[in-house]
Amino acid sequence: MASITLNKVFKHYGHGKSANPVIHGVSADIADGEFIVIVGPSGCGKSTLLRMVAGLEEISSGDISIGPRVVNQLEPAERDIAMVFQNYALYPHMSVFDNMAYGLKIAKVPKDEIKARVDKAAAILELAPYLQRKPRELSGGQRQRVAMGRAIVRQPQVFLFDEPLSNLDAKLRAQTRLEIQKLHRELGITSLFVTHDQVEAMTLAQRMIVMNAGVMEQFGTPEEVYHRPASTFVASFIGSPPMNLLRSAPHGRAGAILGVRPEHLQISAQTTTTGWTVQVEAVEMLGAERLLYTRLDGEQIIVRTEEEQGIVPAIGSALHITARADRLHWFDAASGKRL
């Protein structure tokens, strides 16, 4: 196991005036044994950052260290890392055992040790009954576990996951998330996990890097990122539904954007001087809760209510809402940064 240090890492394609910058000076210290999720929308640079750690992309400037070694000039095979990709990349003609053992055989690891490592990984991932099957005989979730098993047997210092759950359906994604959490608890290997899914990020991460257009917007625990977003981008990207961001809210600050989460708004039975009267545009039923889509002076405000509250306002009706004073967020209107 090893720590990972990113020190002012830049990446651009091309040279001179025609250069296209894609990573803008990312710095982060990742402790030995941490599980870090890199999250952001498509095209934000998260996979590029991961591939630079892996050695599959050259860095333009800065340093990447794995443990005490700066690995800028090292080939992927020299970095002591193992990757799990979005596609399983299994050999279809090989059994599960042989797929997991292949890298060790190439490295000329003794047969007895190969069997011991594969058996141990198969036990951790509940793959022991399937070791003699071919990949075509497995479900998507089982194939992804084989891909993780192939990484585990390598006994690397670092695991790198590049959107490994993207090809799974919703139920399998949730199940595999639990398996990855269990795997990390058992092995304790430093891990970087890339995803565009903020639910995956929030449930898996010990800390998370939120990327936006090649910039690290925030690096913190899920709780810090959710409850104290560093920018309007983070506020709008993390959370489902996202934080309400209001530029023209009554009682606001001059030159500032007011942010408030939907669950921190309440329906008020009477008009107050600190609340807002909004118009209901839509109601979304989500089992134990409802989302009320309302509008105030051209801006949408989403209100989350619990089903047992029993309030289902009519579409087009007026509604008075108030916000918890201790749950308000303020952002600079020009930069979008937290005030």
227 and 145 in a single domain? The answer is yes
- Quick: pLDDT tens for 63-122: 999 999 999 999 999 999 999 988 888 999 999 999 999 999 999 999 999 999 999 999
Domain boundary residue, one of 220, 236, 252:
236
Give domain status of residue 16, yes or no: yes
pLDDT above 80: residue 319: yes
88 and 172 in a single domain? The answer is yes
Average pLDDT, integer, range 255-282:
89
Q: Report the pLDDT value the prediction gives residue 272, as an integer from 0 to 100.
A: 73
pLDDT above 80: residue 140: yes
Mean pLDDT, the chain, rounded, equals 92
Strands (E), the chain: 4-13, 20-30, 35-39, 61-66, 69-70, 81-84, 158-162, 190-195, 207-212, 215-220, 244-246, 256-260, 265-267, 276-286, 289-296, 299-306, 318-323, 329-332
Average pLDDT, integer, range 159-164:
93
- Quick: pLDDT tens for 231-257: 999 999 999 999 999 987 666 677 899
174 and 313 in a single domain? The answer is no
Which CATH number fits the domain that encloses residue 277?
2.40.50.140
Pair 66, 60: CB distance under 8 Å: no
Give domain status of residue 339, yes or no: no
Which CATH number fits the domain that encloses residue 51?
3.40.50.300
Q: Report the pLDDT value the prediction gives residue 2, as an integer from 0 to 100.
A: 92
Domain boundary residue, one of 236, 256, 289:
236
287 pLDDT tier (thresholds 50, 70, 90): confident
Q: Report the pLDDT value the prediction gives residue 85, as an integer from 0 to 100.
A: 86
Q: Report the pLDDT value the prediction gives residue 252, as an integer from 0 to 100.
A: 61
Give domain status of residue 271, yes or no: yes
Distance CA 10, CA 124 (A): 38
232 and 252 in a single domain? The answer is no
Give domain status of residue 140, yes or no: yes
282 and 217 in a single domain? The answer is no
Q: Report the pLDDT value the prediction gives residue 288, as an integer from 0 to 100.
A: 85
- Quick: pLDDT tens for 211-235: 999 999 999 999 999 999 999 999 9
Give domain status of residue 337, yes or no: no
DSSP 8-state symbol, 40: -
Give domain status of residue 58, yes or no: yes
Give the structural domain span for 258. Answer: 242-332
Distance CA 329, CA 232 (A): 10
Half-sphere exposure of 145 (CA within 13 A, CB side): 29
275 pLDDT tier (thresholds 50, 70, 90): confident
How many independent structural domains does the chain possess?
A: 2
311 and 210 in a single domain? The answer is no
Q: Report the pLDDT value the prediction gives residue 18, as an integer from 0 to 100.
A: 84
Give domain status of residue 260, yes or no: yes
264 and 223 in a single domain? The answer is no
Q: Report the pLDDT value the prediction gives residue 194, as an integer from 0 to 100.
A: 97
Q: Report the pLDDT value the prediction gives residue 247, as an integer from 0 to 100.
A: 87
Among 34-48, 185-199, 304-318, name the one with the lowest average pLDDT: 304-318
pLDDT above 90: residue 191: yes
210 and 262 in a single domain? The answer is no
Average pLDDT, integer, range 267-287:
87
213 and 68 in a single domain? The answer is yes
pLDDT above 90: residue 169: no
Give the pTM. 0.90
Average pLDDT, integer, range 280-309:
90
Distance CA 83, CA 148 (A): 8
In the chain, what percentage of residues exceed pLDDT 70?
97
196 pLDDT tier (thresholds 50, 70, 90): very high
180 and 44 in a single domain? The answer is yes
246 and 232 in a single domain? The answer is no
Domain boundary residue, one of 236, 255, 271:
236
Pair 160, 54: CB distance under 8 Å: yes
Give domain status of residue 338, yes or no: no
Average pLDDT, integer, range 251-266:
87
66 and 152 in a single domain? The answer is yes
Q: Report the pLDDT value the prediction gives residue 312, as an integer from 0 to 100.
A: 79
